[in-house]
Amino acid sequence: QKDNELRARQHHEEEISSLPLHEGWRYLPLRLYKGFWFPEFILPGVLSLRHHLRPTSSDILLVSFPKSGTTWLKALVFAISTRNPELLLSRHPQDCSPNLEAFFAGPHVPDLDALPSPRQFSTHIPYSVLPKSVHDSPCRIIYLCREPKDTLVSTYHFVIGMHRPEAAPQQMPFTEAVELFCKGLSMYGPVWEHQLEYWQESQRRPDKVLFLKYEDMMADPEAIVRRMAEYMGKPFSAAEEMNGMVGEIVRLSSFEKLSGLEINKVGLWGKEFDLGHLAIKNSSFFRNGKVGDWREHFTAEMAERFDAIARDKLHQSGLTH
């Protein structure tokens, strides 16, 4: 068994090293796999889970393009599922549902059967790259979409802050980040194709994919929490509504609440990885949590360039930002 795992791992490493490489994001090398740019360090996990993941019908998969509000989604789904939002006071939302590709990136295939049901996983893998076992399974997907301009701003701050204390800070002009992002060169990019794939699947199979937008969640979080609970097969009872459960979940999952907690301010994410010069601080999942922060960073030309790409790629899809 161990020999097989080792052989498969070596085989994957050879495959990964033959994929196109891009080092524009400094300490975060990307490799092109099946039309999307993946962080190199996560690809062993992607390849492994494509072979081994066997979802059950009760699994819930939380999916997003990185920096779209995954942390918030994890907190909300965890609180809805446990009906105990106070647990968020002592647990980083990233630890509420394991990231699948990170889980599978270790030396051994993880034993997912040991996890309590209903299992909640997260992933950033595009729909077309998910294994057939997920496509064919009745397991449910909740996809969180965010306006690409805000997603880039969030990505930019996240990546340039992602260095070890002893490593030199990464100098990268924002204009360069815009250039790369528009070409699809960013973690799991291009963003438009990523969103479109899940959008189209949600149109085809609304029972399979619940498609949510960060901006709608900000505008009316309680309405979205009710939608999520129904989709998860856990609607709020009249008694829970009376007790203010929905409001409590929203309050304890809010940016203001979570970003102020000590547990979310200290420590590192992904300590099990060899990230080279990279270090991902737990605090880096919280920056300012605003809609429209791109206005502070974009020139009119940059915004028009993004909007033109969206018009071109999302044309007639029904997906708007």
Of 45, 55, 69, 184, the one binding ligand A3P by CB under 6 A: 69
Q: Based on the shown chain and the rule CB under 6 A, indicate whether residue 120 belongs to the binding site for ligand A3P.
A: no
Given 52, 92, 108, 124, the catalytic residue: 124
CB atoms within 10 A of CB 200: 16
Q: Which is nearer to ligand A3P, 123 or 253 (CB)?
A: 253
Please confirm, yes or no, whether 124 is among the known catalytic residues.
yes
For the segment 139-178, give every residue that binds ligand A3P (CB under 6 A). Answer: 150, 154, 157
Q: Residue 27, interface with ligand A3P (CB under 6 A)?
A: no
Q: Are 10 and 20 in contact (CB under 8 A)?
A: no
Which of these segments, 59-67, 127-135, 234-242, 243-251, binds ligand A3P (CB under 6 A)?
A: 59-67
Q: Is 66 in the site for ligand A3P (CB under 6 A)?
A: yes
3-class secondary-structure state, position 253:
coil
Instruction: Provide the pairing of β-strand 268-269 with 36-39.
Output: unpaired
Laid out side by side, the sheet with 209-213 consists of 120-123, 60-64, 140-145, 209-213
- Angle, vertex CA 270, rays to CA 182 and CA 176, nearest 5: 20
Picking from 123, 130, 152, the residue whose alpha carbon sits closest to that of residue 51 is 130
Q: Check binding of 71 to ligand A3P (CB under 6 A).
A: yes
In this structure, the dihedral spanned by the alpha carbons of residues 125, 129, 134 and 135, taken in order and rounded to 10 degrees, is 130
Q: Which position among 50, 67, 140, 163 is part of the footprint of ligand A3P (CB under 6 A)?
A: 67
| Cα 201 from Cα 285, distance rounded (Å) | 28
Among 286, 306, 309, 321, interactor with ligand A3P by CB under 6 A: 286
Structure tokens at 13: 């490493």
Instruction: Please choose, out of 64-72, 115-123, 268-276, 295-303, the segment that lies near ligand A3P by the rule CB under 6 A.
Output: 64-72
Residues of this chain that interact with ligand A3P (CB under 6 A) are 64, 66-72, 75, 150, 154, 157, 253-255, 258, 285-289, 293
